[in-house]
Structure 1
Amino acid sequence: MSVLEHATNVSINDSAITSVLNTVNANFNIAGTINNNYNSIDGIVELYKHVATSALHNSIERSQGPHCAEGTRIQLQSDVMTWLKRQADSEIEKLFLWILGAAGSGKSAIAQEIAETCARERILAATFFFSFRSVETDSYSLFIPTLAYQIALNIPSTREFIAAAFVNDVAVVRKDFDTQLDTLILQPIAKARAKSEAEWKKWPNVIVIDGLDECKVEKEQATILRALHKSLKSKDFPFRVLLACRPEEEMRIFFLEGVGKPCTAMIDLNEDYEVDPDLDIFFRASFATIRTKNRIEEAWPADESIDELIYRASGQFVYATTAIERINDPSRRPKE
């Protein structure tokens, strides 16, 4: 039966009804898109409430953290970036890069520089800088939400799925670690990949984690390593993970003896790179600044004094920075 069968006083000009219906449909489509966008925004805004902001590489806290002095660690940074951007080969893919070293060897400074470089080159997916100084970053409680939030921001095609996952179960951030990982990261990533396979290979694919040894509970360290290994085995997980930390027991077990060994490349800051030339650059640049500030003669300090400082540093940048801070103390005379 025609919709106009019993109608009166009806006139049709061109295809006005079709136009109206198309307009209505278009409006519904637009409204649906807007609603979906708002839902994504709302979900991400709510997820942000469970983010450890100080763990982000560009947080206010990190801006005050260690950085590599200009002209230092050049070869190391180049090698790390080459590893992160390399093409997969036919051998067992190494998806972990473990940068290890003693306390004060410069791990956090290197992790910070690499994170900033990756961000500039648009290949950074997420970071987490652990620190025992903050309740935000001394445990794994905010680890997954923080990574998920950054992935949603840096990889827009994952945003709607991560937001929906959180909106559908806002209590997920209080559930066990594996449930959080599956719900907020692995499942949304798989859905985003299925929706756009072509874009998947172009996603930012670097995750930087620093100071896992500063996560206070050793079992939590092991849980994070196990979860990362599980993720890296997934065909839908496109990320490479740079992890900088001291070689504490859980890390040694995982990377040197356990399931992480076949898929891990390592850089030992105490063994693989000559540090003294970088320390020399750091000391000379620092003393040049002090000389200018205090109007001290060019000959100060003597080369022998710099050599002695390098010797005492024993490869530890923390000694070098502490020594310069003391020499440059406003309450002291530098030459003393």
Structure 2
Amino acid sequence: MTQQKKIHDQRCELVKPAEAAVLKDLPSAKAAEYRHGDRRGCLKGTRGPILGEIELWVTDPHKPPVYWLNGLAGTGKSTIAQTIAERIFADGQLGASFFCSRDFQDRSNLKFIFPTIAVQLAHNYPGFRSIFVPLIQSDPEIAHESLHNQIDKLIVRPLKKSSISTVIVIDALDECKDDEPASAILSVLGHFVSQIPNVKFFVTGRPEPRIREGFRLPLLAEATDVFVLHEVESSQINSDIQLFFRHNFSELKGRRRGLDDWPSGKQLNLLCEQAAGLFVYAVATIKFIC
């Protein structure tokens, strides 16, 4: 059993059957947590500087409560989010995670984000759960209210009363359907984030217009650290991509005979050049070659 699973089981075993029934009945997205699906974190030895900066933000109480990992498609945002979620869970700091995906109806619906996060917080923190469960029992329709009411009633109020210190991860926010000119989720987050000073939100998303406008809202702009992933020095990214190629080719050569001198240094450099800083290209290339 992994250390992460032990921590998860220790938390969840404290949930009483009656409480578990209430949490199960609340509408929430399936498989939205970092533990689900086949997502992989960063290869060991890659993305060191950015991971270090995010971890510093997590542990420094003087840093802003929101962190936006801004990156173009294919730059590795979700892989970094997966790694951060794994690491801060192992440290006991992860309260909840929601990995958005346009491929799943519930994980691309904004109305599922806050209820799903709230259910995870309730599972992970007895103090939150003792406030949250009676709240749902008295008003089961909260999950169907506006985003403003959802975050206020399902997340902010129980967090304030329980004084929990935690980190919440929301990945690929741009993959959710949203008709507002400025991200609806970010708009309400800006209104409430100052009310829960011990809670931090790590958000990733492409710099699409509504996401950019959401983070430019005055209440959120002053409460957010921004890291632009696609502006990282190219030599650093290329070094990480080359390490990724070498690692995967080494595994491939372990399964196939006659590949001792393959690929050549020239071939490897060409692959890195063609990847052009996009990890998604490197991943697709490895899958194709395998």
Q: Same fold (TM over 0.5)?
A: yes
**How many residue pairs end up in the alignment?**
274
8 Å Cα contact 1:51-1:146 kept in structure 2: yes
Q: Which amino acid aligns with 1:45?
A: K
2:222 is aligned with 1:248: no
Match of 1:96 among 66, 71, 75: 66
8 Å Cα contact 2:248-2:286 kept in structure 1: yes
Q: Which amino acid aligns with 1:72?
A: T
8 Å Cα contact 2:182-2:212 kept in structure 1: no
Secondary structure of residue in 2 paired with 1:301: coil
Q: Which residue of 1 aligns with 2:51?
A: 77
In the TM superposition, what is the alpha-carbon distance from 1:72 to its structure 2 partner? 1.4
In the TM superposition, what is the alpha-carbon distance from 1:70 to its structure 2 partner? 2.9
Q: Which amino acid aligns with 1:83?
A: W
Q: Which amino acid aligns with 1:95?
A: P
Distance (whole Å) between structure 1 residues aligned to residue 221 and residue 144 of structure 2: 31
Q: Which residue of 1 aligns with 2:257?
A: 295
Match of 1:280 among 223, 242, 248: 242
- Gap runs ≥5 in structure 1: 1-35, 194-199, 329-336
Distance (whole Å) between structure 2 residues aligned to residue 255 and residue 176 of structure 1: 20
In the TM superposition, what is the alpha-carbon distance from 1:82 to its structure 2 partner? 1.2
8 Å Cα contact 1:57-1:115 kept in structure 2: yes
Normalization by structure 1: what TM-score? 0.77
Q: Which residue of 2 aligns with 1:213?
A: 174
Match of 2:35 among 58, 73, 90: 58
In the TM superposition, what is the alpha-carbon distance from 1:221 to its structure 2 partner? 6.7
Q: Which residue of 2 aligns with 1:239?
A: 199
Pairwise CA RMSD of aligned residues?
A: 2.0
Q: Which residue of 1 aligns with 2:277?
A: 315
Q: Which residue of 2 aligns with 1:45?
A: 24
Q: Which residue of 2 aligns with 1:172?
A: 142
In the TM superposition, what is the alpha-carbon distance from 1:168 to its structure 2 partner? 0.4
8 Å Cα contact 1:145-1:173 kept in structure 2: yes
Q: Which amino acid aligns with 2:242?
A: D
Q: Which residue of 2 aligns with 1:130?
A: 100
Normalization by structure 2: what TM-score? 0.88
In the TM superposition, what is the alpha-carbon distance from 1:75 to its structure 2 partner? 2.4
Larger radius of gyration: 1
8 Å Cα contact 2:69-2:203 kept in structure 1: yes
Distance (whole Å) between structure 2 residues aligned to residue 218 and residue 68 of structure 1: 33
Give percent identity, aligned residues only.
29
Q: Which amino acid aligns with 2:188?
A: A
In the TM superposition, what is the alpha-carbon distance from 1:189 to its structure 2 partner? 2.1
Larger mean CA deviation between 251-260 and 269-278 belongs to 251-260
Q: Which amino acid aligns with 1:68?
A: C
In the TM superposition, what is the alpha-carbon distance from 1:191 to its structure 2 partner? 2.6
Q: Which residue of 1 aligns with 2:6?
A: none
8 Å Cα contact 1:231-1:237 kept in structure 2: no
Larger mean CA deviation between 264-273 and 134-143 belongs to 264-273
